[in-house]
Structure 1
Amino acid sequence: MFYRPEDGHGLPHNPFNAIVTPRPIGWISTRGPMGDNLAPYSFFNAVAYTPPQVMFASTGVKDSAAAVQEAGVFCVNIVETAAMEAMNATSAAFPRGTDEFAAAGIEKAECTTIDCPRVAGAPAALECRVTQIVPLLGDGNMLILGEVTGIHMRDDCLIDGRFEITRFRPLSRLGYMDYATINEVFEMVRPSSPKAVSPKV
């Protein structure tokens, strides 16, 4: 099957989200004129190491994106499998001004480098200052880029100096209403550069 998105796919559900998977979930917390906000975004990822930078994209006009534009800061809370119900609860279409932390019964803590709340029990939280907001094609779509200015890591996730995802099993977004949890982790060592390999004699 081949289709041009501009012509439609003819399927019962849009397959695009199911094709680009799995995607990490950015549980974005903000503080704006109408109070604190917490919402999951499935278009999220890290984009640079030095300085550390992340991105998330808002599809349509949403409270979190509006707060980010106003305040210039946001926090990315990493979602563990144990928090999937709480995360899902914050995706509801609450009235504007609703504090999702309170509505979903999620403990809140203050960030250190920015004026913003974070999920107190998250395995990790990335405090971010907005560096760029890029309008995207489509009504209300935007790409938000931020520099990470502070990183919280839960102590039980640090093992022998490594942040171990097996301790909390990250939750990822698939297509449609599907999610996945990481149950298996393996390591692969990068092959040496061909120029660095000694020729066989």
Structure 2
Amino acid sequence: MFYEPGVTDHGLPHDPFKACVIPRPIGWISTQSPSGSANLAPYSQFNNLTFDPPYVMFSSNQTASNSRKDTVINAEATGQFVWNLATYPLRHAVNITAEQVAYGVDEFNRAGLTKQPASRVNCPMVAESPVKFECEYHSTIRLPGNPPMGTVDVVIGKVVGVHIAESVLTDGILDVRKTEPIARCGYYQYTVVRETF
């Protein structure tokens, strides 16, 4: 089959585009508002951009009311955010933090997660997550989107601190059999990584 996105119909029950680009790491991003309210939300468009120096990105659609997500507002206002590795044991907490709630609501508390102070930035980390990146906000690229989402905010940050739990290291190597990272597939499907080759 062949189709042109936005031009010709793919002829399938659901848009297959995101199902083609898999698995996608989950950007479980924590921020803090200028007034001190903690925020935590997962994003299925996340990845590293470079490694020397390390930069990461996550993208966020606008809400149905055409407003920016709390994560984007906080990262731009404070210049900081943290990426927390989303793991299989934490999958239910990840889902809870995906729920749309009012600005200022503490998703850490809603999901029963422990706040861990960061070393370089002023926003909390997920203590239960075995890997965390502390990030300084770099820039936002706003891409045009089709209705009803408006623009898509691509947020870029420089990694200034990396936390790795000793418990997930095997012979000095980060062991996916111990971290069990979850990732987004197409539609409402997820996967967990437990094997490598």
Pairwise same-fold verdict (TM > 0.5): yes
> What displacement does 1:33 show?
3.2
Please tell me whether residue 2 in structure 1 is matched to residue 11 in structure 2. Answer: no
Which secondary structure state, in structure 2, belongs to the residue aligned with residue 57 of structure 1?
strand
Are the aligned partners of 1:15 and 1:175 in contact in 2 as well (CA < 8 Å)? yes
Q: Which shows bigger deviation, 46-55 or 7-16?
A: 7-16
Q: Which amino acid aligns with 1:33?
A: P
C-alpha distance in 2 between matches for 1:114 and 1:10: 47
Please tell me whether residue 119 in structure 1 is matched to residue 120 in structure 2. Answer: no
Sequence identity, in percent? Answer: 40
Deviation by residue 1:38-62 (Cα, 9 ceiling, x = unmatched): 0001100011111111111112121
Are the aligned partners of 1:28 and 1:75 in contact in 2 as well (CA < 8 Å)? yes
Residue aligning to 2:168: 157
Residue aligning to 2:14: 13
Residue aligning to 1:49: 51
Give TM-score scaled by structure 2 length: 0.90
Deviation by residue 1:96-129 (Cα, 9 ceiling, x = unmatched): 2111000111111111100011100111000000
What is the number of residues matched between the two proteins? Answer: 186
Q: Which amino acid aligns with 2:6?
A: E
Give TM-score scaled by structure 1 length: 0.88
Please tell me whether residue 140 in structure 1 is matched to residue 151 in structure 2. Answer: yes
Greater gyration radius: 1
Q: Which amino acid aligns with 1:147?
A: K
C-alpha distance in 2 between matches for 1:96 and 1:74: 16
Unaligned runs of 5+ in 1: 187-201
Unaligned runs of 5+ in 2: 63-67
> What displacement does 1:10 show?
4.2
C-alpha distance in 2 between matches for 1:51 and 1:168: 24
C-alpha distance in 2 between matches for 1:71 and 1:140: 21
CA RMSD of aligned residues (A): 1.3
> What displacement does 1:78 show?
0.5
